[in-house]
Amino acid sequence: MDAISVIRTKRDRGRLSDEQIDWVIDAYTRGVVADEQMSALAMAILLNGMDRSEIARWTAAMIASGERMDFSSLSRPTADKHSTGGVGDKITLPLAPLVAACGAAVPQLSGRGLGHTGGTLDKLESIPGWRATLSNAEMLSVLDEVGAVICAAGDGLAPADKKLYALRDVTATVEAIPLIASSIMSKKIAEGTGSLVLDVKVGSGAFMKSLEDARELAATMVGLGTDHGVRTVALLTDMSVPLGLTAGNALEVRESVEVLAGGGPADVVELTLALAREMLDAAGLTDADPAKALADGSAMDVWRRMIRAQGGDPDATLPVARETHVVTAPATGVLSGLDAYAVGLAAWRLGAGRARKEDAVQAGAGIELHAKPGDAVTEGAPLMTLHTDTPEQFGYALQALEDAVTVAAPGSAPAPTPIVLDRIA
């Protein structure tokens, strides 16, 4: 086998054989296949696709590149959730402790920012002292004692995906459905969770722009999970508008804590509860009431214990960006459009994301929204606040926001879009 032959096969719209897939994943993991060669193959896959059997074999090869975890010693049923990525999508932060407060164990392996979308680990690392990297023994201990853990996948878990995930982020190949599906499912299957709920985002701020593509991705992942004995269900959720009122690492942590305290934006609360109910149902905990656990403070208690168990201080002051810039409403009327992709791109340009896989992110960078579609706005009034430590980036971020906002005449509010668009099981 050689990398050039594998690349050529997919470049010419051929089907990769099982042997080619097994070899290229193993060789890339060992460093025999170079980043530039895997980049070319990833682009060929993005452009020409894979059939279901290719995706299944690719996923199996990713799993086989490392170890598999076992949570059978836990007294609770396990349930996990994965989002395909969005703008302002901080749902994992309140969701994991909420589901744990209702009786499940939540082994939440999360990732870093990918393209214009935020990363759960980047957000949590804005909490002083918090650690993303845990050993398998530490992860199991936190799960046993607290009920929830949010951490990075260990080096031994699907190491092929860890390398390819970072590469896709900087080579414009994030959107490839076969690579998204295999990346997510290889980690989740190797992780060993008993049930999995997928939040597949749809809209301008998502990698899947259409319902058709989102259904294809969801069905592919549900099939992969089911074939490996993991009870899997997917919700298709709207990402045409940012979730909540913040996009950026520390900004989203603050908003998540507001939700756990019984407040927070209505759309974040609604989606958190919808996903919690799916997770609890998949875990067989059908009598649990996540709304009650959110209201009575038990979810907040689990959050604080989870943060402490990973070295963080839940009472610490979160980082704040050194510079801000206010964007005002261009006209008086009703905010009828707020493009999620533009907001995510602007937040990325302000420092909330990374341009290269080795780049650091700014904890305080991001965007704070003062209105959402359907709200009345007044010309010249604050519409959003940009936050960054590098004010020279303001102009670059504002370019991304040039066509992001649409204001309609007073009294012509758009019909609200439901958060949950479809369910695939």
Q: Sorting pLDDT into bands at 50, 70 and 90, what band is 357?
A: low
The contacts of residue 138 (CB under 8 Å, 6+ apart) are none
Pairing of strands 333-338, 405-408: antiparallel
Domain for residue 108, yes or no? yes
- Where is pLDDT greater, at 114 or 403? 403
Average pLDDT over residues 190-206: 94
Q: Are residues 369 and 391 in the same domain?
A: yes
The mean-pLDDT minimum among 141-145, 180-184, 203-207, 356-360 falls in 356-360
pLDDT tens for each residue of 52-85:
899 999 999 999 999 999 898 999 999 999 998 8
- Where is pLDDT greater, at 359 or 333? 333
Average pLDDT over residues 368-395: 97
pTM recorded for the entire structure: 0.89
Q: Are residues 286 and 394 in the same domain?
A: no
Domain for residue 175, yes or no? no
Average pLDDT over residues 124-130: 97
User: CA 118, 342, 395, 378 torsion: positive or negative?
Assistant: negative
Q: Are residues 299 and 328 in the same domain?
A: no
Provide the residue range defining the domain that includes 130. Answer: 80-154+186-309
**For residue 73, what are its two tokens?**
């010693």
* pLDDT of the residue at 157: 85
In this model, does residue 153 exceed pLDDT 90?
A: no
Average pLDDT over residues 343-360: 87
Distance CA 96, CA 104 (A): 9
Strand 80-83: give its sheet, edge to edge. Answer: 80-83, 195-202, 231-238, 420-424
- Where is pLDDT greater, at 353 or 298? 298
* pLDDT of the residue at 113: 80
- CB contact at 8 A, 408 and 333: yes
Q: Are residues 245 and 110 in the same domain?
A: yes
In this model, does residue 111 exceed pLDDT 90?
A: no
Domain for residue 236, yes or no? yes
Q: Are residues 263 and 332 in the same domain?
A: no
Q: Are residues 213 and 133 in the same domain?
A: yes
Q: Sorting pLDDT into bands at 50, 70 and 90, what band is 147?
A: very high
- CB contact at 8 A, 201 and 237: yes
Could you give the percent of the chain with pLDDT greater than 70? 100
**DSSP codes joined into one string, 12-81:** TTPPPPHHHHHHHHHHHHHTSS-HHHHHHHHHHHHHH---HHHHHHHHHHHHHTS-----TT-SS-B-EE
Q: Are residues 119 and 28 in the same domain?
A: no
Q: Are residues 249 and 396 in the same domain?
A: no
* pLDDT of the residue at 23: 98
In this model, does residue 51 exceed pLDDT 90?
A: yes
Residue 78: φ, ψ to 5°: -95, 140
So which residues are the catalytic ones? 82, 161, 168, 183, 187
Domain for residue 25, yes or no? yes
Can you give the CATH number for the domain in which 206 is found?
3.40.1030.10
* Tally of domains in the chain: 3
Q: Sorting pLDDT into bands at 50, 70 and 90, what band is 107?
A: very high
Can you give the CATH number for the domain in which 8 is found?
1.20.970.10
Average pLDDT over residues 177-195: 92
Angle at Cα 375 formed by Cα 381 and Cα 244, nearest 5°? 95
Pairing of strands 333-338, 376-377: antiparallel
pLDDT tens for each residue of 273-324:
999 999 999 999 999 999 999 999 999 999 999 999 999 999 999 999 999 9
In this model, does residue 270 exceed pLDDT 70?
A: yes
* pLDDT of the residue at 289: 97
* pLDDT of the residue at 416: 82
Distance CA 367, CA 116 (A): 13
Q: Sorting pLDDT into bands at 50, 70 and 90, what band is 354?
A: confident
Tell me the pLDDT of the chain averaged across its residues: 94
* pLDDT of the residue at 360: 86
Distances (CA, A) of 125 to 93, 119, 235: 12, 10, 28
Long-range contacts of 28-31 (CB under 8 A, 24+ apart): 28/160, 28/163, 28/164, 29/65, 29/159, 29/160, 29/163
Distance CA 202, CA 87 (A): 11
Q: Are residues 110 and 220 in the same domain?
A: yes
Distance CA 414, CA 91 (A): 25
* pLDDT of the residue at 154: 80
Q: Are residues 327 and 226 in the same domain?
A: no
Q: Are residues 192 and 91 in the same domain?
A: yes
Average pLDDT over residues 29-43: 96
Average pLDDT over residues 208-236: 94
Q: Are residues 334 and 196 in the same domain?
A: no
Distance CA 83, CA 86 (A): 8
In this model, does residue 231 exceed pLDDT 90?
A: yes
Q: Which amino acid is at 397?
A: A
* pLDDT of the residue at 112: 83
In this model, does residue 149 exceed pLDDT 70?
A: yes
Domain for residue 176, yes or no? no
* pLDDT of the residue at 117: 82
Last residue of a domain, one of 269, 284, 309: 309
Average pLDDT over residues 153-164: 87
Can you give the CATH number for the domain in which 331 is found?
3.90.1170.30
* pLDDT of the residue at 415: 81
